[in-house]
Amino acid sequence: MALSHSVTTCLSPPVHYVICKLGFEKKDAYDINNILSENGEVCWQALTEHVCYLESDQSVDYIKSIRSLGPVCESVNSHFKSLTKEKFVIQYALWFHWTNCTELFVEVFDVLQHTQTTEVALALMKLTSCLERALGDVYLLIGKDCPFLLRDLLASEQLAVVFGQAVMDVLRIFIGSPYGLNLRNVLWHGFASPQEIPAKYCAMLLFLTAGLGQLLQMYLLQTKCILVHRPCVIFVSSEELDVFPDLSHEALSIAEELVKLSSFVLQTMIPFWMAALTAFKQSRYADCVILLLPQLEVGLRLLFTTTNKCPNRLLTAEPSALYTTFDEMLAKHLDNEEVNQLPAVLEEPAMELLWDFLNHQEGPRIRDRLSHGEISLEAFPREVANQIVAFAITLLCRFSDEDVFAFKEHMVIKPLMNCASCYRSQFHPISRLKKQVLECMKSIHLWPELPVVPEEHVQTIKGLEGNAEASTLILVISEIVSQLQQYMPHNCYSSDDPVDSVLTERLLIELCDTRVCTLYSPRPVLEILAILRKISAQCHQVSEQVIASTELRYKRWMNRNLRSRQRHNYLRMLNSIKFLSPVLRLILVMITLELVNVHLVCKKNQFDYQQYLKFLKSVLQYTENLVTYTSLEKNKWDETTELTNKALIKIRKISDRKLMLMQLAT
């Protein structure tokens, strides 16, 4: 992997030319007063004159436009350098309010005064993500669903209505089109090294953002609309993201050594790695992650191209071909349908970690959210940055030409390596279902502690049927459990009571601890998981409703606030609970056994698969009806008995026909 030392750029020759040379070809000086009025307004008409169009179809001629705009960008950069911070704030700060990130744009001005290459690149990445978020807010003044991709957003009619088509064309020259400078993508996907991004383009985007603020203000005054900012995404369940121990100063110092030694790092990208580690030490956690994610992508791309023997894919592609990004690298197959070798090299735990942090819909999707401006940069959590840096350190260690045995065995690095090697997915639907099942069981476990009206109070009520129905249903549940027992781990129950000794939390914990492959789940597997998760969610809702109803009715009974009919209903509810608890526990055990064997669904023929699907949907229907009947509004307890009886008959029938996945396993 000496490749990491020999690669001097990840920009292909045409892309390198467009970004590093094209905008410098015209040498004539450009007067800032042509595009800036005396009262500090951006003269858009003078700017749009530099956009050239192709004669063939009137689309933007990006090459000519970039060449023409080069001196203009130079002039804007010099203009900003000539201003004091006070003067800049007085003249421009107001025009950044529409982005909801004024301080960030003022920071970008500070960066331009010193032009340190890594800082300019970082500033551009933050600027483009915040600008994208703000443009999305503007889009929503007119449109409904904001496009996910920046290029679709910039090409939308909605933004052309607000800002004008020519203005959007100027913007697309800098970001959002693979034919233009495409600064955002080239940086966020880790193709550009620090010295390859001219500071003048960062200055120009700062200037254009102020100009957009001026145009937007006019539009809002004319239309009397109010711009609403979407709230930031907040990381929930951050304890699930807690994989690695907290990084010490010593671990970070070792990481700095490893960056210089590891073949995971391209020589040209070392400054980005160092800047990321420095940002972490300075508690600038968003900056750290913004710098590090593209570098993880470069390192993985280097591995990907080496293991799949396609070195040309290390470079940015031309506009007509796809970049090699995380999506391609984490996929099962290459675009020629051959098997991607990277997963085998990285091994399952690292792949699961990458999928969890970057791809799974219910995971943090850190790169997407940061690059599209959905996360508050000030409030970015240390814990999340800690995980990304720790994972990066393990990759630096694993993929090194040098003998880094001493590093791997170091007392602060070894725990990180251990955590990485035994990681299991947290955000795949399989993992989410396991979590759901255990939470639901915890809820049902609270039922025996619920307050119950003393027996002597009940004696006074006439005409209440006995427990015959509940007993009959429990008997049926026992029979089904006895049938299914052979598919359960034997160390989790005693056989004396098929209900209370088998349908336990201990059994579920044992089952949920079974490793089920999450990588590249086929479509039928995901389809089944989606239904099982819905069933589990409905069961949980029934449990929560039973708890709420019982507590409320008990309170009202003891306070003598229940009328005669309500008292009857309350006792029916208590009667129903006797069979509802075992039936919900049976369903939880059943869906967990199916989950453990979920990959066997691929062995079913189409007819059996459809029958099986139909059965699961009938169980889902039963749990949905239960939610309705046990709600405080409906309160239909007699109906739950009839409903449960029908559902148990179906379950027994399917079990007899051996259509369940657990039965396929044997």
Residue with tokens 């869906």: 591
Tell me the percentage of the chain whose pLDDT exceeds 90. Answer: 75
Q: What is the pLDDT of residue 463?
A: 46
Q: What is the pTM of this model?
A: 0.92
pLDDT band, very low/low/confident/very high, at 402 (cuts 50, 70, 90): low
Asked whether residue 123 falls in the same domain as residue 190, the answer is yes
Asked whether residue 460 falls in the same domain as residue 409, the answer is no
Residue type, 37: S
Mark which of 223, 257, 286 sits at the end of a domain: 223
Residue 589 inside a domain? The answer is yes
Residue 230 inside a domain? The answer is no
Residue 495 inside a domain? The answer is yes
Residues 6+ apart with CB under 8 A from 438: 505, 508, 509, 512
Looking at residue 233, the DSSP 8-state letter turns out to be B
Asked whether residue 400 falls in the same domain as residue 443, the answer is no
20 class by beta-carbon count within 10 Å (0-12 exposed, 13-18 middle, 19+ buried)? middle
Question: What's the average model confidence in pLDDT over 124-134?
Answer: 98
Q: What is the pLDDT of residue 131?
A: 98
Asked whether residue 182 falls in the same domain as residue 316, the answer is no
Total Cβ atoms within 10 A of residue 29? 10
Residue with tokens 């690695």: 244
Taking the chain, what is the end-to-end CA distance rounded to the nearest angstrom?
A: 46
Tell me the percentage of the chain whose pLDDT exceeds 70. Answer: 95
Residue 233 inside a domain? The answer is no
Asked whether residue 493 falls in the same domain as residue 394, the answer is no
Residue 48 inside a domain? The answer is yes
Q: What is the pLDDT of residue 626?
A: 96
Q: Which one is predicted more confidently, 501 or 519?
A: 519
What tokens does 353 get?
Answer: 């970690």
Alpha carbon separation from 259 to 107, 274, 304, 597 (Å, rounded): 28, 8, 19, 43
Question: What's the average model confidence in pLDDT over 553-569?
Answer: 84
Residue type, 487: Y
Q: What is the pLDDT of residue 410?
A: 82
Q: Any idea which of 70-79, 496-505, 647-656 has the lowest mean pLDDT? A: 496-505
Residue 15 inside a domain? The answer is yes
Question: What's the average model confidence in pLDDT over 352-381?
Answer: 94
Asked whether residue 306 falls in the same domain as residue 434, the answer is no
410 class by beta-carbon count within 10 Å (0-12 exposed, 13-18 middle, 19+ buried)? middle
The Cα 361–Cα 357 span in angstroms is 10
Domain count, the chain: 3
The Cα 268–Cα 199 span in angstroms is 18
Question: What's the average model confidence in pLDDT over 459-472?
Answer: 64
Residue 118 inside a domain? The answer is yes
pLDDT in tens, 306-358: 999 998 889 887 777 767 888 899 999 998 899 999 999 999 999 999 999 99
Q: Any idea which of 24-28, 92-96, 113-117 has the lowest mean pLDDT? A: 113-117
Asked whether residue 328 falls in the same domain as residue 447, the answer is no
Q: What is the pLDDT of residue 460?
A: 54
Q: What is the pLDDT of residue 383?
A: 93
pLDDT in tens, 195-239: 999 999 999 999 999 999 999 999 999 999 999 999 999 887 667
Backbone dihedral region of 414: left (phi > 0), alpha (psi from -120 to 50 degrees) or beta?
alpha
Residue 87 has pLDDT above 50, yes or no: yes
Helix (H, G, I), strand (E, B) or coil at 470: helix
Q: What is the pLDDT of residue 112?
A: 97
Q: What is the pLDDT of residue 364?
A: 93
Residue with tokens 């600008």: 131
Vertex 378 angle, CA 377 and 382, to 5°: 90
Asked whether residue 329 falls in the same domain as residue 452, the answer is no
Residue with tokens 């049926």: 476
Residue 10 has pLDDT above 60, yes or no: yes
Q: What is the pLDDT of residue 461?
A: 55
To which H or E segment does residue 382 belong? helix 382-398
Residue 8 has pLDDT above 80, yes or no: yes
Residue 627 has pLDDT above 80, yes or no: yes
Residue 665 has pLDDT above 80, yes or no: no
Q: What is the pLDDT of residue 154?
A: 97
Q: What is the pLDDT of residue 465?
A: 52
Mark which of 400, 421, 442 sits at the end of a domain: 421
Residue 493 has pLDDT above 80, yes or no: no
The Cα 132–Cα 155 span in angstroms is 13
Mark which of 223, 250, 266 sits at the end of a domain: 223
Looking at residue 362, the DSSP 8-state letter turns out to be T
Residue 294 has pLDDT above 90, yes or no: yes
Residue 352: name the closest of 295, 422, 304 by CA: 422
pLDDT in tens, 226-285: 999 999 998 876 678 899 999 999 999 999 999 999 999 999 999 999 999 999 999 999
Looking at every residue in the chain, the average pLDDT score rounds to: 92
564 in Cβ contact with 463 (< 8 Å): no
Q: At what angle do helices 606-629 and 564-596 cross, to 10 degrees?
A: 150
Q: What is the pLDDT of residue 133?
A: 98
The Cα 592–Cα 20 span in angstroms is 57
- What is the maximum span of the chain, computed from C-alpha positions, in angstroms? 101
Q: What is the pLDDT of residue 312?
A: 87
Question: What's the average model confidence in pLDDT over 446-475?
Answer: 73
Q: Any idea which of 386-400, 484-498, 504-518 has the lowest mean pLDDT? A: 484-498
pLDDT in tens, 146-168: 999 999 999 999 999 999 999 99
Vertex 608 angle, CA 607 and 609, to 5°: 90
Total Cβ atoms within 10 A of residue 374? 18
pLDDT band, very low/low/confident/very high, at 487 (cuts 50, 70, 90): confident
Residue 651: name the closest of 584, 552, 558, 597 by CA: 584
H runs (alpha helix) in 599-636: 606-629
Residues 6+ apart with CB under 8 A from 354: 300, 326, 330, 346
Q: Domain containing 87: what range?
A: 3-223
Q: What is the pLDDT of residue 1?
A: 45
The Cα 26–Cα 343 span in angstroms is 47
The Cα 181–Cα 11 span in angstroms is 12
Burial 202-239 (b: 16+ CB within 10 A, else e): bbbbbbbbbbbbebbeebbeeeeeebeeeeebebeeee
What tokens does 524 get?
Answer: 């039928």
The Cα 545–Cα 626 span in angstroms is 10
Asked whether residue 188 falls in the same domain as residue 113, the answer is yes
Asked whether residue 484 falls in the same domain as residue 591, the answer is yes
Vertex 43 angle, CA 40 and 46, to 5°: 145
Asked whether residue 186 falls in the same domain as residue 290, the answer is no
Residue 380 inside a domain? The answer is yes
Asked whether residue 406 falls in the same domain as residue 481, the answer is no
The Cα 95–Cα 112 span in angstroms is 18
53 in Cβ contact with 61 (< 8 Å): yes
Q: At what angle do helices 102-114 and 199-223 cross, to 10 degrees?
A: 150
146 in Cβ contact with 136 (< 8 Å): yes
Residue 518: name the closest of 433, 395, 440 by CA: 433
The Cα 332–Cα 528 span in angstroms is 21
The Cα 637–Cα 643 span in angstroms is 10
